[in-house]
Amino acid sequence: MDAFASDHDSWKHWFQRHGPRLLVCARLWTRSLADAEDVVQEAFVRFWRNQRSLGGEPLALLLTSIRRSAIDLARREGRRQVREQRAEDLREGEPMLFEPLAEGDDRRTAIEGALQRLPAEQREVLMLKIWGEQTFEQIATTLELSPHTAASRYRYALKGLRRELSSVQCHD
């Protein structure tokens, strides 16, 4: 991972390299792709201006900032919905974690479904470990839990995915 302090590495270059990974992780904590994009942008700007001089691994610090921004957004949205007393449920099913699927992509559909059926705590750790490329120590810091708990949730998530996908035949 490139450090932010590097003279030759601008924020634009860094964001181009790491933005998609951050967006996948933000999507885990938000209700829509648009919200995820907003959360990533807000957290990145705040991080770049105020927090990049902090010690630690930049990607891990930024993921923590993104998660907190997503939580703040969810709280704001929750309060807004209560004020407006919305009558209908805005969520018709689980949000998609990835780009829309191509027709006939059964393997990807199966994986998406299996991920959605995992408990949220396990899915969160799995996403941070795989797409966020975080260590269990970094995940523990981001999610405010012990590294052992993060590792345990990861193992349970993998076991759950194996169980869910065992009946699906994947063809290359």
- pLDDT tens, residue by residue, 52-74: 677 777 788 888 888 888 888 88
Closest CA to 35 of 44, 43, 25, 27: 27
Residues contacting 112, CB < 8 A, separation 6+ = 96, 97, 98, 101
Predicted confidence at residue 150, as pLDDT, reads 94
Q: What would the pLDDT profile of 16-55 be if each residue is shown by its tens digit?
A: 888 888 888 888 888 888 999 999 988 888 887 777 677 7
Predicted confidence at residue 98, as pLDDT, reads 58
Q: What would the pLDDT profile of 113-166 be if each residue is shown by its tens digit?
A: 888 889 989 999 998 998 888 999 999 998 999 999 999 999 999 999 998 888
Does residue 89 register a pLDDT over 50?
no
Supply angle C-alpha 146, 149, 150, rounded to 5. Answer: 90
At residue 137, what are phi and psi to the nearest 5 degrees? -65, -45
At residue 119, what are phi and psi to the nearest 5 degrees? -60, 145
Highest mean pLDDT out of 93-102, 103-112, 141-150: 141-150
Residues constituting the chain? 172
- Report the interhelical angle of 136-143 vs 58-84 (nearest 10°): 30
Radius of gyration of the chain (CA): 17
**Percent of the chain with pLDDT strictly greater than 70:** 74
- Prediction pTM value: 0.52
Predicted confidence at residue 90, as pLDDT, reads 39
Domains of the chain: 8-93 (1.10.1740.10), 102-172 (1.10.10.10)
Predicted confidence at residue 4, as pLDDT, reads 47
